[in-house]
Amino acid sequence: MVLQKLKRKKETIFYFFSGKGGVGKTSMAAATALWMSQVKKKKTLIISIDPAHSLADSVDTKVGDEIKKLKNNLYALEIDPAKSMGEYKEKLTPQMDKISFLKGSGLDDMFDIAGITPGIDELAAFDKFLQYMNSNDYDVIIFDTAPTGHALRFLSLPDILDSWIGKMLKLRAKFSSMTNMFKKLLPFTKEDETPNMGTDQLDGIKERIKQAKIFLSDPERTHFTIVMIPEHMSIVESEMLMKTLDEYKIPVNRIIVNQLIPENKSCKFCTDKRKIQQERLKSIKQKFPKQEIAEVELFKEEVVGFDALDMIAKKINSK
């Protein structure tokens, strides 16, 4: 048993951060990436899949759509949805004259006839997840997701794509002469897969999507953190997100409550606002009894740069 454990490859651990827009999830994701890379000495990649991309602002360094080394053990990448959309459109455009047969097949809801893939940021993010799922290039991969609605669409992609591939397999039998078109329609193929997109390749993609669903629901491999602020709308969105995560059997390990006003008895407004927030905090703890709750006070200055992120990292990893 010991020998078997020694021979096993290291397995990448995935962390997802999500929450309502403006709650500070990027700062929490970046702080966690810094902690993992510098304190835990894990080779860490943080991927921003939020089209707004505030990751570069958080680390106070230009990131971009190519992997960039930020510090020892720390790497970053911002997925560019516009670039991804252009690449997919380039694949689809030469096939426009053949797409008419998709109408009525059940696949036309995945692609519009103009050649633009809906939810391109979620598709690009899921592509990255599939790419790194078995690579073991990194010890830890952290996904800074877009606001809640985008995150929910990302989580639904495995089921949507699984259904889509199933339909493709059925159509493949009917339209065996159109193998090249299927190749161009599928964004998640491996580089070594041949242009002749037959059922073996489609089955391979279907299997990888199935494996992704397993990874996302594996508490040993995937950890999901919900970031919120002590305000009604943020709590409501977080409850909705938690419910969906529950349905997909994706484990939520931690809730981070951000922007808590520190005690200041000399400021009546601060005291009154803090009292409301503390009531909200009590409600949050009641609504999410199974999750670890980390509390982060409101910073006087913007959270920008590694020094500020280090302070946050110590607060949310103090336990």
Q: Are 234 and 19 contacting, i.e. CB atoms less than 8 angstroms apart? A: yes
Per-residue pLDDT of the chain (319 residues; tens, 9 = 90+): 333 333 335 789 999 998 888 899 999 999 999 999 999 999 999 998 876 668 999 999 999 888 999 999 999 998 876 666 565 555 444 443 444 444 455 444 444 433 334 466 666 677 777 777 777 899 999 999 876 666 666 777 777 777 766 666 666 666 555 555 555 555 555 555 544 444 565 666 677 777 888 888 898 899 999 999 999 999 999 999 899 888 888 889 899 999 999 999 899 999 999 999 999 999 999 999 999 999 999 988 888 999 999 999 999 986 6
Instruction: Measure the CA–CA gap between 64 and 66, rounded to whole angstroms.
Output: 6
Q: Residue length, the chain?
A: 319
Instruction: Measure the CA–CA gap between 94 and 77, rounded to whole angstroms.
Output: 30
Contacts of 313 (CB under 8 A, 6+ apart): 31, 32, 34, 35, 39
Instruction: Measure the CA–CA gap between 89 and 93, rounded to whole angstroms.
Output: 6
10-83+118-163+219-316 CATH fold: Rossmann fold (3.40.50)
Element (H, E) at 18: strand 13-18
Cβ-based burial of 196 (10 A; exposed 0-12, middle 13-18, buried ≥19): exposed
